[in-house]
Amino acid sequence: MTWQGIRGHDAVVERFRTALGLHRLASTFLFVGPPGTGKRTFALKLAQALLCERVSEEQLAPCGECPACKQCLAGTHPDIDYVAKPEDKSSIPIELLIGSDEKRMREGLCFRISLKPFSGKRKIAIIDDADYLFNEAANCLLKTLEEPPPRSVLILLGTSEQRQLPTIRSRCQVVRFQPLDTNDVAEILVEQQLTADRNAAHQAAALAEGSVSAAVRLLESELSEFRAELLQSLAQSPLQPAVLMKLVQTYVDAAGKESAAKKLRLRDAFGFSSSYFRQLMLIGSGLAQPTAASRAWLDPAEMGSRGVELCLEATSAADSNAAVLNVLEWWADELATLQRTGTATLLSH
């Protein structure tokens, strides 16, 4: 079933329909779920349903034809505000929320949402990349979250509850978005004309762990070749840290000079490796059959779980702007040690 062309989130739709039917829609939401599961698409469609001029909001069925719907679809509705982390920044700048130094609280999202709606219905603000709301920016958002203006709806989009500050989390109603199932991912790739090749769509979807954005990237042949080589390297016994490091480094460097593009590739490497270790955990606990690729790891349950932790730590080190080479070297060495001795030194321990 799909709601307004959105696949896989019927339970979330029902939850909103019920709340709206009872006239008990909360004002502040935190949508969490893996990237590429449709949180932003859902938030925008919800906004459209709340602003549609022809169909009442509790029906949650925007007409798609009225002026408000058309503005929503074109991304120009004056009562929808959208803020995201700029690509070249490592956090959401405070200016986007409360304006520049000279214009504090006279511009920015928190200011705009305090104004009366243009349409008279609602004001809706969407804060994307909420994982990157830190200190100052988070603090100024708190007041708005605590006392949201009447008829306003604020939606924060993040990847997990754990990545949000407790002060923010506790002020929002949490809505969880599950990874999509493989068929839905494949259908979305075809529907959105990201590929015309159904086989390729299914292959990419099968590896994407429920994420459309991951599947889109997997459609690129360079990425799937890299993934195959990486998995081969992780299945070596003994694991060769220098070879592993070189492999990832070459792939990262091929992104060019732009650091955001490099970082994305580094995340690919840690993400693929993390899935490899999760598979080891399944094998270790008897939920999956051992494969040729798992034999290099003698204690798959324990080593798999440690391996996942190492990959997560490497990802957050890379996110916190540590030098790529240092992170890679540490990660590859630790994996080799883990395979040899069954233990690893985690940075945070």
Q: Return residues touching Zn ion (CB under 5 A).
A: 52, 54, 62-63, 66, 69
Q: Which two tokens stand for residue 221?
A: 């042949």
- Report the alpha-carbon distance of residue 154 to residue 123 in Å, rounded: 8
- The DSSP result for 34-85, as a single string, is -TTSSHHHHHHHHHHHHH-SSS-GGG----S-SHHHHHHHHT--TTEEEE--
Q: Measured from the CB atom, is 66 or 194 closer to Zn ion?
A: 66
Q: What SS3 state is found at 157?
A: strand
Minimum CB–partner distance for residue 192 and Zn ion (Å): 22
The one-letter code for the residue type at 62 is P
**What pairing do the DSSP bridges indicate for beta strands 80-83 and 123-127?**
parallel
Minimum CB–partner distance for residue 167 and Zn ion (Å): 36
- Asked if 274 and 311 count as a contact pair (C-beta separation under 8 A), the reply is yes
Q: Measured from the CB atom, is 45 or 263 closer to Zn ion?
A: 45
How far is CA 32 from each of CA 183, 209, 319, rounded to the nearest angstrom? 21, 16, 19
Minimum CB–partner distance for residue 41 and Zn ion (Å): 17
Q: Measured from the CB atom, is 4 or 139 closer to Zn ion?
A: 4
Q: Measured from the CB atom, is 79 or 187 closer to Zn ion?
A: 79
Q: Measured from the CB atom, is 43 or 52 closer to Zn ion?
A: 52
Minimum CB–partner distance for residue 148 and Zn ion (Å): 24
Q: Measured from the CB atom, is 69 or 219 closer to Zn ion?
A: 69
Contacts of 211 (CB under 8 A, 6+ apart): 34, 35, 36, 37, 179, 180, 185
Minimum CB–partner distance for residue 76 and Zn ion (Å): 14
Minimum CB–partner distance for residue 44 and Zn ion (Å): 14
Q: What is the DSSP letter of 5?
A: T
